[in-house]
Amino acid sequence: MSPPVPALTPEQKKELAAIRIVAPGKGILAADESTGSIAKRLSSVGAENTEENRRWYRQLLFTADKRVEPCIGGVILFHETMYQKADDGRPFPQVIRDKGALVGIKVDKGVVPLAGTNGETTTQGLDGLMERCAQYKKDGADFAKWRCVLKITAHTPTPLAVMENANVLARYASICQQVPNGIVPIVEPEILPDGDHDLKTCQYVTEKVLAAVYKALSDHHVYLEGTLLKPNMVTAGHACATKYSPEEIAMATVTALRRTVPPAVPGITFLSGGQSEEEASLNLNAINRCPLPRPWALTFSYGRALQASALKAWAGKKDNTKAAQEEFVKRALANSLACQGKYTPSGTAGAAASESLFVSNHAY
C-alpha cells in the first residue's frame, strides 16, 4: 500500500511533455537543418535548394506511414518549416501532431567566435527569445533546441568556452520555461568528434562540460524535470588511430552521464554527429544494453542518421517519394529498437546473441 502522494503541482504537469517525447521506443527526428545546412544535403543528391524542394523533402519525412508513429516522439523544425504546409493544406506542425508527435523548434542563431580563444565559439540567439518562443508555442511548438559547440584539442575546450556555453544554454533554457504554458528546452552541448584524441579524453571532457552545464542550469533555476539533454556520445576523435567497439563507447558514454546528469532529467537524446546511420543505431543499442544502471531514458535525436538513405533515395525526384519514405521508416524502426536495446544489424527485433557487452577491468 503506497503512501498518499501530494497532488501534481503545475510544475509536475509540465514535465509530462518532456516525458512524452522520450517515451519507451521513441526518439526525435531532427529535421531542423538551416537553409545553409540543407543546401549541402540537397546538393549532395543533385537537388536544387529551392523552398519547394525543402518543403517537399520535409513533407516526405512527415507523412511517412503509421509505422513511424511508435518511433518518433518529437520532430525538430527549422523556422521556415514551421510555416510550410503539406499538399493537403495542413501546416506541418499539425501534420506532425496528427501523428502523435510533439513539435520542436530550433531557436538558436548559430555560433559566433569567442575572441581570444583558439577558434572557440559561443552561440547567439537570446535577443527577443522570450517573444519568439511565445509565438512558436502559439504556432504549435512544445519544445525547442539550442546547440552549443565545443572542440577538443591540446588546449581546448578552455574554461571560458565551457563556462560561456554552459551559461548561454542555461539562459536559453530558463527563457523557454518561462513562456506561457512552457516550452521544453533541449540542451545541446555538442563536443565535436574532430581530432585524434582517444576515448578517455572525450569522456573526461564530456564529464567536465556536463558538470558545468548542470551547475549553470541550477544557478539559473532551471526546472530539470522539464528539460532534455542532447549530448554527443563519448567517442574517440575521427582521426584517432585506435578503434573502439560499440560496447566501449557505450560504457564510456553511460559512465560520463552517470557522473553528471541528475536523475531529475527525464531523458537524454543523443546527437549522431558524423556517425553513419548504422553506426548511430549500433551505438545507441549498445548504450541501452550497457549494464550500468541509469534513471533517464537514453534515446536518439538524429538528423543525418535518420535521413541519409531517404535523402539519397529521393534525389530530388517526386517519383521517388515512396521509396525515400521507406528508407526513413526503416531507420526509424531500427532506432526505435536500438533505444530499447533490441536492435540487431539485420533490423529484426530480439537479440539472441548475448555476448559480454562491456569491456571488463577497463578503467573509466
Partner 1 sequence: MTHQHPALTAEQKKELSDIALRIVAPGKGILAADESVGSMAKRLNQIGVENTEENRRLYRQILFSADSRVKKCIGGVIFFHETMYQKADDGTPFVQMIKDKGIVVGIKVDKGVVPLAGTDGETTTQGLDGLWERCAQYKKDGADFAKWRCVLKISEHTPSALAIMENANVLARYASICQQNGIVPIVEPEILPDGDHDLKRCQYVTEKVLAAVYKALSDHHVYLEGTLLKPNMVTPGHSCPTKYSPEEIAMATVTALRRTVPPAVPGVTFLSGGQSEEEASINLNAINTCPLVRPWALTFSYGRALQASALSAWRGQRDNAEAATEEFVKRAEVMGVAREWSAKGWAGGDTE
Which residue of 91, 140, 316, 341 would you call a contact of partner 1, by CB under 8 A? 341
Please name the residue that has the C-alpha cell 514535465: 15
Q: How far is the CB of 204 from partner 1 (least distance, A)?
A: 4
The reply to whether 255 sits near partner 1 by the rule CB under 8 A is yes
Please name the residue that has the C-alpha cell 510550410: 84
Q: How far is the CB of 143 from partner 1 (least distance, A)?
A: 20
The reply to whether 116 sits near partner 1 by the rule CB under 8 A is no
The reply to whether 245 sits near partner 1 by the rule CB under 8 A is no
Bond preceding residue 157 cis, omega within 30 of 0:
yes
The reply to whether 346 sits near partner 1 by the rule CB under 8 A is no
All residues at 6 or more sequence positions from 167 whose CB lies less than 8 Å from its CB, including other chains: 216, 220
The reply to whether 258 sits near partner 1 by the rule CB under 8 A is yes
174 membership: H or E segment, kind and range: helix 159-178
Distances (CA, A) of 137 to 27, 79, 178, 194: 21, 12, 11, 35
Distances (CA, A) of 175 to 172, 179, 223, 360: 5, 7, 11, 43
Q: How far is the CB of 12 from partner 1 (least distance, A)?
A: 10
The reply to whether 201 sits near partner 1 by the rule CB under 8 A is yes
Q: For residue 201, give the amino acid letter.
A: T
The reply to whether 4 sits near partner 1 by the rule CB under 8 A is yes
Phi, psi of 113 (to 5 degrees): -70, 150
Which residue of 241, 352, 353, 363 would you call a contact of partner 1, by CB under 8 A? 363
**Subset of 150-169 contacting partner 1 (CB under 8 A):** 152-159, 162
The reply to whether 359 sits near partner 1 by the rule CB under 8 A is no
- From the list 15-23, 240-248, 252-260, 305-313, the region that binds partner 1 by CB under 8 A is 252-260
Indicate if the alpha-carbon torsion angle 271, 273, 278, 283 is positive or negative.
negative
Which residue of 18, 129, 187, 205 would you call a contact of partner 1, by CB under 8 A? 205
- From the list 43-51, 110-118, 200-208, 279-287, the region that binds partner 1 by CB under 8 A is 200-208
Task: Judge contact between 197 and 204, C-beta under 8 A.
Answer: no
The reply to whether 270 sits near partner 1 by the rule CB under 8 A is no
The reply to whether 119 sits near partner 1 by the rule CB under 8 A is no
DSSP E strands: which ranges in the chain? 27-31, 72-77, 102-106, 111-113, 121-123, 143-150, 184-191, 228-229, 267-270, 297-302
Task: Judge contact between 231 and 268, C-beta under 8 A.
Answer: yes
230 is catalytic: yes
Look up residue 269 and give its three cell numbers: 537524446
132 membership: H or E segment, kind and range: helix 129-138
The reply to whether 360 sits near partner 1 by the rule CB under 8 A is no
Q: How far is the CB of 361 from partner 1 (least distance, A)?
A: 7
The reply to whether 13 sits near partner 1 by the rule CB under 8 A is no
Catalytic residue among 33, 120, 188, 247: 188
Q: How far is the CB of 75 from partner 1 (least distance, A)?
A: 25
Compose the 288-307 pattern: x for residues touching partner 1 by CB under 8 A, - for all others: -xxxxxxxxx----------
**SS3 call for 30:** strand
Task: Judge contact between 29 and 75, C-beta under 8 A.
Answer: yes
Please name the residue that has the C-alpha cell 509565438: 135
Look up residue 192 and give its three cell numbers: 565535436
215 is catalytic: no
**How many residues touch partner 1 (CB under 8 A)?**
52
**Subset of 213-242 contacting partner 1 (CB under 8 A):** 214-215, 218-219, 224-225
In terms of Cα–Cα distance, which of 93, 183, 94 is closest to 134?
183
Catalytic residue among 137, 164, 230, 277: 230
Catalytic site positions: 188, 230
Binding site for partner 1 (CB under 8 A): 2-6, 152-159, 162, 197, 200-201, 204-205, 207-208, 211-212, 214-215, 218-219, 224-225, 255, 257-264, 289-297, 341, 357, 361-363
